[in-house]
Structure 1
């Protein structure tokens, strides 16, 4: 028999519902996750992402709905019969064991022969860059090294899917960034399906092939990272990612029936798909798409008053008040483009004004 093929559905949730003490953590949730994908469940605290992961793992049972893994209905199958690996927020390292013994523990429980355990353990330690640390007591390793041991242990039994529940949340920023790159590298080398839970937007954007953004147990949107970041369809997703301005406008038609929107004190012709009907409508503009320099090169120009200038290291945020009283943030790399209290012109490309659908 052959295993699942890359691109085929490996995990599917169909109409899954779950409540805890009246709180909805999954509301008619349906998701399809492909073999070999790095798939992330992203959302704020209480959005249901960890509960969804636990239902896939079999640690929680849905109130209704269906969960399949590799085409098999596992809704009522216990965790140990699902061929899954799991990494938790805590390292869950056995303190009385060496790094190698930790990695090989699951294989020993499964009854693997000693020589095969030794070979697979060495392979996994090399994969995570800890070949020279196998004989060390696990408690003597750094936090990042312990997390690598936990990852190697989870991958050692060759699970069909690896579930990761905010595994980097306990690490400091520098180590967390390193581990993000390591996880992506290891995912690419093993081609194991990763289902990852996080509330960190940057983490999700950095590592994922696709992201499902959850809100109160509902999937607000599911798409590739760049599309979610640059062209969100819903107000919730637009507001969840940093640097997204949500502005109210009024859509009207001219005598020829061509749609236009009045927004920010400007009148802008609309074209393409997703144009809302006449009347009030919400639009988004990403902060980096509001330009304070070379304004004349952009077809859309706003007049704005600079309220605040905030230095954020790699970027500078300019808080602007537009002519219709709405505020927006423009991000640039220079802090000398405008001073608080000044009135300036701001440029925008037509394709960077995006209508929200919900």
Structure 2
């Protein structure tokens, strides 16, 4: 059973524009994951359906001043899987286990009976997690991490029984034979200062995945290309290499799914290079950008806005005193990031500041 994950963009998640502290959306290496935690909603039965499920959870978690929805994924009774913090962001679901654990809420509460569709989807998500991490993750309920009633008696019994799912065929163990002729290659190469291969991370990895899909080599993806290189990327790239006449799919052979300079240049039309790093000044705090505030930070912000083309509301240029012109220029910039509502109110947060100076 494959997993189709409904992205944050699809269900209408609030953009990340809050301080990524220890409970926030800091990136986590897949190699850090060793546990898979199952949660439920609480004491009452859940009657919400569809996109209303993750939106309701997000609203509650934002009210807790968290950076956004705290679970990595949410599973509905219909078997839908919604992206929360995803595979590579630190969770906010079980203190002490937010880096090592992937947290998944099955949207039921109290003594509500989990549906077969929900259990099958959660089990498929668990198998996908094991494939991505490259090892078997410990199956746990929330109460295995801290003292709590979560995930309730029914889900906890299901977890302890090994997470069985009616009619579900478990996926192969991580590291097993997946490419004809050999096991999946799990090493990295560096080309132009950028890493490619299992575990590599960045926009350049997403670019490779999208190029593969465009050329018709995307059948192994279950949730689309992403910034983290997984076995799916390797298998798709191997298919692409074999279409070019390369042979040998065992690790370190010519069609093992790890890019070489020639195949990568042909796929992308060029060889990407690592851009020089640019130091982003530390965000000085929201209090520096409020009516009556005056500081060098306001001037610095204004100059960055003008440099990026968002200074039309200034009449005499940026200055040290926060003004309505500053707010309106910031709002224009935020809306250009496809943000709305309180995320585009004209008052900069850490993510607005980072994007302005990146």
Same fold (TM over 0.5): no
TM-score between the two structures when normalised by the length of structure 2: 0.25
TM-score between the two structures when normalised by the length of structure 1: 0.25
Larger Rg computed on CA atoms: 1
| Structure with the higher fraction of residues in helix conformation | 2
| Structure with the higher fraction of residues in strand conformation | 1
